[in-house]
Structures are given as C-alpha cells and as structure tokens.
Amino acid sequence: MKILIAGITGNIGSHAAAHALSLGHSVHGLGRNPSKLPAATSSALESFIQSTSYYDTAALDRAAAGVDAVICAYAGLPELHLDAQLLLLRASERAGVKRFLAAGWNYDWRVLGLGDEPVYDAAMMFHQQAALTSGIRPCHVFSGMLADVFFGVGGQRGFTPRDGGVWDPEGLRMEVWGSGEEEWNFTTEEDAGRWGVEVVVADGAEEGGFVRVCSWTASLREVKEAVERVKGVKVGWEVKGSLEELQDMAEEGRKLGLRRFWEWHRHVFMENCVSGRWNLKKLENGRFPNVRPTSLEEFIRDALPG
C-alpha cells in the first residue's frame, strides 16, 4: 500500500514510517525539514514532499497524489489538529484517498464536551467537521498518555510538576493527586506509530472509526516502583491533595479563559486522569498482532537515563 505520512519527521511519524517500511509498504513523506529523518528511513522513502507551512496547499496536493492512505502525525497543537488537518483532509479528498488516520494518540475525548479540556477541542471539532462535510471517514486511535511525554524523553519537554504534571526527572520524584493507586493508560511513541500504520491499512479502514490500544496500564505508584526496581534508584513521592482539591484547582483555572488555556489545562488533564473519566475500556491490542506492546519495565530500561 502507498502510505503518506504527514509530519513524518516527528517522533510518532518517524516510528510509523519505520514500521510501514518493515511491512513492505511504499512510504511517502510530508514535512518541513527532511534532515530530521533518520538516514535509513530517508533513503527508503518513495518520495518526500517539503512544505513551507501547514497551509502550503500545493505541497499537500503533491504529497497526497497517488497514495492509498494518509497518516496525519502532526504535533498536538490546536492549529495543527484543526486548521492544518482539515487542509490535509481536503487535499486527500481531491486525490481520491479513502483511508485517513487522524492525528491524536490520546485519551478517549468522546466523553468530553467542548471546553472540558481545550487541548482536545481541536480533535473533536475536526472529527465533527469531517463527519458533516467530507466523504472521507477518518480513523482515530485512542492510546492514553504518551510515555515519552510523561517522562520527558526523546526530545519531549515532559509532564513535570512545574507544568502541573507528575514526573520530575531531575529530582527523581513524583507529585501526585488522589491516592496514586488510580490506573493510567500509557503508550510509547514507537508503539503509537506502529499502531497508526496497522489501523490505517486494516480491512475496513475506509469506514473510519475509533480504536483503543495502549502499551500498558499502571497506577502512578506502580510506575514509581518500576523505576526504582529497574533503575535501582529511590524515587521521591509527594501527594499534593485529593481529587476534589484538584477539581477545584481545575475549575479556578477555567476562569482564566481559553486564551490562557496553556496556563491551566494540565490541571484539567490531571483531573481526568485521576478520576479515570476518559480511561480506555475494552482494549483492542489483540486486533493487531504485528505490534507487540512495549512493557513498562522495557520502556524504563531502554528510554530513561541512568
């Protein structure tokens, strides 16, 4: 199958490309900086279309021409998940593409309303607009928290306490809300890329829909203990407050308004994780035997320093 990966130079996009190539697919890339691709991937591509911006429609049309499927691996910014992805969808329509994997690899936003967690609003609006106006029925992958983002590896900033997150890589400590025994879903960026390919090439992908997969499910307490066990270090632990106190903080943050959502959305994100509101139910890992999910211990051993 001929697969276009938009955002191929990003972490998930490059992993998707490597997996698609390993399965014998013809891979075409779209991005702004081809030098960011691993040499082995770059040399194996059927083509690479360089774009000047996400609204470079000429580049979008060249990239989509003649392919069978499109994987959108854009970064998690609202303008990319809505504006840019709609432009890519329209280029795919003009090219006659029927298989389209939407950007995402996130928690199940179907339980949310607009404004509940602004980071996901753009993904929700893209899905709705596609359903209203497009002949393409996009596929969506729900995979929980990206492990690379949580731990701040692979060039990611991290889900750190200073940003309203959990893991402090410098101090080797965790700040948690609730009991710390609540289950979280985690997926590595490598597994996310692999599953993206598997979903878009699967039988019936042109019908669209939602797929729930993740590398592992664990509580933050279990994550702490796994780091200590695998790395032989002591991980600090601080309980910041109850779920109810976290919800109060999230509600106060919302009062700042959407223009300042980057200042407060992490409290909302954490609230949904601790409450389990958007956790993935009825995982479908078994549908995709070409992907062996990475375990928590494997990821800690291979990805974390020390």
The C-alpha angle with vertex 285 and arms to 282 and 286, in degrees rounded to 5, equals: 100
Question: What phi and psi, each to the nearest 5 degrees, are found at residue 146?
Answer: -75, 120
The C-alpha angle with vertex 81 and arms to 161 and 48, in degrees rounded to 5, equals: 110
User: What's residue 101's pLDDT?
Assistant: 98
Q: In whole angstroms, what is the distance from residue 283 CA to residue 183 CA?
A: 14
User: What's residue 13's pLDDT?
Assistant: 97
pTM assigned to the model: 0.96
91, containing H or E segment: helix 85-95
Q: In whole angstroms, what is the distance from residue 87 CA to residue 90 CA?
A: 5
Residues of the chain short of pLDDT 50, as ranges, are none
Identify whether the C-beta of residue 8 lies closer than 8 Å to the C-beta of residue 21.
no
Nearest Cα to Cα of residue 188 among 22, 30, 7, 16: 16
User: What's residue 148's pLDDT?
Assistant: 97
| Domain 2-303 superfamily per CATH | NAD(P)-binding Rossmann-like Domain (3.40.50.720)
For residue range 118-174, list pLDDT tens digits in order.
989 999 999 999 999 999 999 999 999 999 999 999 888 889 998 889 999 999 999
User: What's residue 163's pLDDT?
Assistant: 85
Nearest Cα to Cα of residue 103 among 129, 142, 66: 142
Q: In whole angstroms, what is the distance from residue 187 CA to residue 227 CA?
A: 16
Within 10 angstroms of residue 259's Cβ, the number of other Cβ atoms is: 7
Q: Residue-wise over 113-126: b if at least 16 C-beta within 10 A, else e?
A: eeebbbbbbbbbbb
- Rg (alpha carbons) of the chain, rounded to whole number: 19
User: What's residue 154's pLDDT?
Assistant: 87
